[in-house]
Amino acid sequence: MNLFQVSDFYIDRIVNSKSKSVLNGSLDKPRIKALLLDKDTTGTISMCTTQSELLEHEVYLIDTLENQNRDVMRHLKCLVYAKPTDETIEHLVKELQDPKYGEYQIFFNNTVAKTQLERLAESDDLEVVSKVEEVFQDYQVLNQDLFSLDVRSSKLFSHQMIWEPSGLADTTHSLISLLLSLKVKPLIRYEAGSRLTSKLAKEVMQEIHKNERALFDFPVMDSPPQLLILDRHQDPLTPLLQPWTYQSMINEYIGIKRNVVDLSKVPDIDDSLEQVVLSSKQDPFFHDTMYLNFGELGDKVKQYVSSYKDKTKSNAQINTIEDIKQFIGKFPEFKKLSGNVSKHMAIVSELDRQLQVQHIWDVSEVEQNISAHMGDSQVYQDLKGVLSDERVSGFHKLKLACIYSLRNATSPHMNEISATLAANVSPEELNFFHHFNSVFQTRTKSANTGKEREDLISELAKKFNQKGQHKSDNVFMQHVPDLSAILSDLSKNKLPEDRFPFLEKPGARTFCQDVIIFHVGGTTFEEARIVHEFNSGMAGDGGGKIRTILGGTTILNTREFLNDCREVGQGSTELTDLL
């Protein structure tokens, strides 16, 4: 259950595929390969491998299928890796009618429909295609246990609780490709009281049954893997809070898309650092620090820099020719190290700057206090202070108010809060605050009236049951996402079935060993950290009892989450009231 392993396997399969046809008389002659990607697979590939790795496999030309002005290179073998959308099929048809390369091997990253295959076959009258294969990776791998479909919620839902038909189909297919790539045929669980999750669960189940013979022909497991589909709206608090781990802070304050961090907006940045690549697979320092919080991160960076300085010092003492030779020999590595050091220094200092500029320290402390201590009057005073603080941006004020209303829906202070907010933010934002409340309050009301009681119990349970997960005394990390409780319930095989029902209840008693958790509406890097800690805790004593993989329709930061709430709900507020 290591997603990097899976993607390495697939990439290896694609770039090393042998050509069976001995048509041209020369066995395996065209050694240099061209790789054609479409806009979806470009992302998948770029996150799992590097150009130099591809070069090692003799892929010397990489281009996109969409590019119409490619030159004819008759002696190359062409590998096509594409998502089977109608658009790319059309591109492929054009390519096959007027082929630029000598031989084609086509790989689709998901199941291809028969009609699409027919369309391709029809256009291949030159018989240049020697292989058509489906591999299954219609998703992006971020960490070894985190994947994302990279689709914004506004494209998936026509309303907070209703799927857009195309969005539902896409999500289902992507999830199916994930299951196939891990070779699991799971028991499916969803969140009771969430239409989104139950609908998706049913679709996935249907798709599995449809392809049971052809694709999902895996050995039966004594403890079948589980697919747990969660709804982001059931835990809106986590994506609202300011995050504090390295990976999530980069996503929050600078932005990371397909492993590329865009530092071009940072003042006085060096040209070479405008766009840097950050991958936990290729960068060992990032791999070690991505889950650390900002304080721990500072120490690590300091260590990293000082170890780098030591190395420069040892390089400074060059007396003999031998020394010089050694220095030159080590230089490429040294150069790489220095590049990496300056990259991380640039990122961390930018994070620090953002924290200062946006007054995150103050904001986050209040946020965390609100979420951890319900109905505390001191907290309320702090909140009012921040709300009327002119240095804090309107966005953060709005967010604070939202958090407060989530935690204290029935508080008598609510009117006062919205009054204070009205004085400090624009009317649109205030309007959104009310919209946000209506969306999430109706939900809590309809979901279960006894929520507060349950909250109290789960709070207690959290306090006592968190073995292995140190309860942090850190003021900025008081909030524990609901996912943590779900995982700890899972590990004890006690995830309540009334809250997370099975779609098809297993006949015999089963235990949970492999879990895939999927967040409809997006997941966060904070939750990725929790899953990572859970996994390593499980691997620690006695071996991998439970292996977990987390995924989401996208990876959210606070801004994106609020925007999603804004955009998705637009124009259908009346419907919300009906529900």
Partner 1 sequence: MNAVDGPGYLDEPQKSGSELNCPVCAQTLHDLAKLNEHLDRIHGFGEVSNEDADSVNTQLTRSRNVVENSSKAAKANRFELKRDHWIKPVMGKSRCRTCSKSLTQARQAINCRRCGEVYCKNHCNLIIKLNSNAEYNPLTGEWCKCCINCFGNRAGYNEFGAVCNKTSMFKELRGSKVEDKQLRKLQLENRFIRLANGIQQINNQSSKSMLASIRKYTEINKLERSVVPWTPDEAAFACSLCSKPFTLALRKHHCRLCGKVVCNESQTNCSNQLPLMSLIRAASDLPISTEFVDNNAEDVQIRICSACVRILFIKRKFTRELSLPEPSILRIYENMRTTADVILSILPQVLNQAEEFSATPNAPDVALLTKMRRKLLDSFALYDRLTKQMLKIKPKNPAEERIQRAIVFRASMLIQEHMLPLRSLTNAASTQNSSHETTPESERSMNQGYGNNLSIKEVKEYRDQLMVLKEQKFLVENMIASASKQRKFDEAETLSGNLRELNEQVEMIARALGEEGFS
Q: Give, as ranges, the residues between 464 and 503 that touch partner 1 (CB under 8 A).
A: 492-494
Q: How many CB atoms lie within 10 A of CB 145?
A: 23
- Position among 50, 158, 315, 438 found at the interface with partner 1 (CB under 8 A): 315
Residue ranges in 97-136 that form contacts with partner 1 under rule CB under 8 A: 99, 102, 111-112, 117-118, 120-122, 124-136
- Give least dist CB 291 to partner 1, A: 24
Report strand pairing: 157-159 vs 162-163: antiparallel
| Residue 551 CA from chain centroid, whole number | 6
Q: What is the CA radius of gyration of the chain?
A: 26
Nearer to partner 1, 63 or 459 (CB): 63
Sheet (strand 33-37) strand order:
59-64, 33-37, 73-82, 101-108
**In the complex with partner 1, which residue's Cβ is closer, 224 or 552?**
224
Please report whether residue 291 would count as binding partner 1 according to CB under 8 A: no
DSSP H or E segment with residue 561: helix 558-569
Q: Please report, as residue ranges, which positions from 533 to 572 form the binding site for partner 1 (by CB under 8 A).
A: 541-545
Of 10 and 286, which CB lies nearer to partner 1 in the complex structure?
A: 10
| C-beta of 264 vs 410, nearer to partner 1 | 264
546 Cβ partners below 8 Å, 6+ apart?
490, 491, 512, 513, 514, 515, 534, 535, 538
**What's the gap between Cα 384 and its chain centre?**
34
The identity of residue 356, as a single letter, is: Q
Nearer Cβ to partner 1, position 51 or 570?
A: 51
Angle in degrees, 0-180, between the axes of helices 360-372 and 394-407, rounded to the nearest 10: 10
The interface with partner 1 within residues 187-206 (CB under 8 A) comprises: none
* Tokens 């320290």, located at residue: 361
**Binding string, 134-173, against partner 1, x = CB under 8 A?**
xxx-------------------------------------
Least Å from the CB of residue 328 to partner 1: 6
User: Which residue of 94, 210, 265, 325 would you call a contact of partner 1, by CB under 8 A?
Assistant: 325
> Based on CB atoms, which residue is closest to partner 1, 228 or 392?
228
Let me know: does 352 contact 346? Beta carbons within 8 Å. no
Q: Which of 28, 322, 390, 473 binds partner 1 (CB under 8 A)?
A: 322
Of the two residues 8 and 296, which places its CB atom closer to partner 1 in the complex? Answer: 8
Instruction: Give the residue, chosen from 42, 50, 154, 326, that forms a contact with partner 1 under the rule CB under 8 A.
Output: 326
Q: Least separation, in Å, of the C-beta of 322 and partner 1?
A: 7
Q: Map the footprint of partner 1 across residues 357-416, applying CB under 8 A.
A: none
Binding mask 232-251 for partner 1 (x = CB under 8 A): --------------------
Please report, to the nearest 10 degrees, the dihedral formed by the alpha carbons of residues 564, 569, 571, 576 taken in order. 180
DSSP structure class, residue 87 = H
Pick the piece of the chain touching partner 1 (CB under 8 A) from 146-154, 327-335, 361-369, 525-533.
327-335
Q: Measure CA 416 to chain center.
A: 37
Q: Using the rule CB under 8 A, is 32 a contact of partner 1?
A: yes
Output the CA–CA distances (angstroms, integers) from residue 199 to 162, 178, 550, in the order listed. 9, 18, 19
Rounded to whole angstroms, how far apart are CA atoms 443 and 234?
9
Interaction residues for partner 1, span 336-365 (CB under 8 A): 338, 342
CB 567 → partner 1: shortest distance, Å? 36
Backbone angles phi, psi at 224, to 5 degrees: -60, 145
Q: In what order do the strands lie in the sheet with 256-257?
A: 256-257, 260-262, 275-277
